[in-house]
Amino acid sequence: MLGRMTSDLWPAPFHPDPIVHTQVVPGSKSMTNRAYVLAALANRQSTIIGALHSRDTDLMRAALSDMGVVFTEEAERITVTPGELVGATVDCGLAGTVMRFVPAAAAFAEGPVLIDGDAQARTRPLTTVLDALRHLGVSVDGDSLPFTVNGTGHAPGGRVEIDASSSSQFVSALLLAGARFDRGLTVVHTGGRLPSMPHIEMTVDMIRDAGVKVDVKQNEWTVHPGPISGKIWVIEPDLSNATPFLAAAAVTGGTVSSIPYWPQKTTQAGDVIRLILERMGCEVDIVADGPSYTLTVTGPPRGQLQGITLDMSDIGELTPTVAALATQATQTSMLTGISHLRGHETDRLAALSQEINKLGGKCEELPDGLRITPAPLHGGVWHSYADHRMATAGAIIGLTTEGVQVEDIGTTSKTLPGFAAMWTGMVHG
C-alpha cells in the first residue's frame, strides 16, 4: 500500500441531485509562498494582502521567521520585515515549495540552516536543486532530507545547467533568490519536457514585479543581480483549490456552481479547468465583476459528461480532479504528460489508479499518465496518502457514489484548511 494511512475516515457526502452553490476560495498557495520568499530577500518591508493560511504556507512563514524575518499580521494584511538572515532549523513538513525554495534563500543566511521534514518527504527528489547550489558556490551537506545549507551571507552565482524534468520547482527555487547572487544567475534546463510551465511563468512575473530584471529564452532564464524591492503583494484566489467545487457542478448533472473573484489575467494552472470542463460537456460562463470575474459552471445532464484526451504536462496539479471527473464520463479518458507526478506528495499516478480500481473503476497506469474507462463504482475507503489533492478527488467521487469514506480528510489543510466544512456546506446548502 502506498503512502501513510490513518484510521481517520470521513464519510464523503453523497448528493446525486443538482447542487447550486457559490464558493469563495482562499488565496493561492503558490503565490503566497513565492511572495513570502521575495519579501524575505527584499531590501525593505513588504505587505501581503490575502495570503493563504494553510500548513504549507505556515511552514514557509515559520521557516523564514526562524531565519530572522519578522512577520506582523493585522486582519487581511501581513507586513514582512526583512533583515540579516541567520542560521536556523527548518521544518518543511511535506511542502515541496518549502523544501526546495528555502535552501536557495538559506544561502544568504549567516550560519547553517538545517532543513528536515515529514518522513514521507524524505523520498521527494531534491538533489537537483542542492547540486545546483553547490555549483553556484554554496556549501551544502547532504543530498536529501535532512540536509544543511551552510550560509555565508552571499554566494557567487553564475550559470548552472539542471534537469528539472521532474519538477518545475527546481527552476523557481533558484530564480527566486537569483538577484541576491553576486553575479546574478542563469538557469538552463537540459532535460526532457519541462512540466508545469505556468508555475515558472508565475515565478518570473513575480520577480519582475519586485523590480528585478529577468531575461527568458527557450529553457533558459537569467536573473540579473540587484535589489529585490519590497512591495504590496495582492494574492489571487487559489484556482486549483477551486477545481473540486467546479467539478461538483460537472458530476451532479445540471448543477450550477459559481466562484467569485476569478482573476482577469493569471499564470495559475488552475485557470485551465475552464477549458477542460467545456471539453467535457459543461457550460462555462465568466462574467466581469469589477476588477475580477465570476466563473459559473453548469454541468451536463446526468450521465452525459464526456471523456477527454489531454496532455496535462503543464497542469499536472489538476490531475486528481480531472481523474475523478473521468470516472463519471461516458467515454474513456487519456491523461498524459504527467510522469513527474510520481514525485509529488505521493506517486499520484499509482495512487489514483489503485483507489479508483478499488471502488470498481477501471484505471490503467501508463508510463506517463492514466487511461480511465468508465465503470460502475461502489462505496469503500478512499485513501489519501497524506496528499491533499487525493483527498479532494475522493470527495468528488463520493458525491455520486454512495458509501465512499475518505481516509485522512484533514490532509487538505496542506493548502485548503476547512475543506471538509466547505464541502459539507456546499452539499447541504
Q: What are the binding residues?
A: 29-30, 34, 96, 124, 167-169, 196, 317, 344, 348, 389, 414
Distances (CA, A) of 188 to 161, 165, 248, 321: 5, 12, 41, 32
User: Would you state the cell numbers that stand for residue 414, as one nine-digit string?
Assistant: 496542506
Specify binding-site residues for phosphoenolpyruvate: 29, 96, 124, 169, 348, 389, 414
CA distance 181 to 163: 21
Cα torsion for 333, 334, 337, 339, to the nearest 10°? 90
CA distance 403 to 399: 10
Residue whose cell numbers read 496542506: 414
DSSP state of 384: -
What angle is formed at CA 420 by the lines to CA 71 and CA 393, rounded to 5 degrees? 105
- Backbone region of residue 261 per phi and psi (left: phi > 0; alpha: psi in -120 to 50; beta: other values): left
Among 180, 186, 23, 196, which Cα is nearest to 96's?
A: 196
Distances (CA, A) of 210 to 145, 205, 230: 31, 9, 7
- Rounded to the nearest 10 degrees, the angle between the axes of helix 169-177 and helix 96-106 is 30
* End-to-end Cα spacing for the chain: 36
DSSP lists the bridge partners of residue 22 as 258
Among 126, 138, 229, 130, which Cα is nearest to 181's?
A: 138
Chain Cα centroid distance, residue 291: 24
Q: Quick check: is 74 catalytic?
A: no
User: Would you state the cell numbers that stand for residue 286, as one nine-digit string?
Assistant: 465568466
**DSSP E strands, 299-420:** 309-311, 333-336, 362-366, 369-373, 380-382, 404-407
Please identify which of the residues 110, 161, 201, 317 carries the catalytic annotation: 317
Among 238, 317, 321, 236, which Cα is nearest to 277's?
A: 321
Specify binding-site residues for 3-phosphoshikimate: 29-30, 34, 167-169, 196, 317, 344
Residue whose cell numbers read 523520498: 123
Among 295, 274, 277, which Cα is nearest to 286's?
A: 295
Q: At residue 328, what is the residue type?
A: Q
CA distance 91 to 223: 28
User: What residues are annotated to the active site?
Assistant: 317
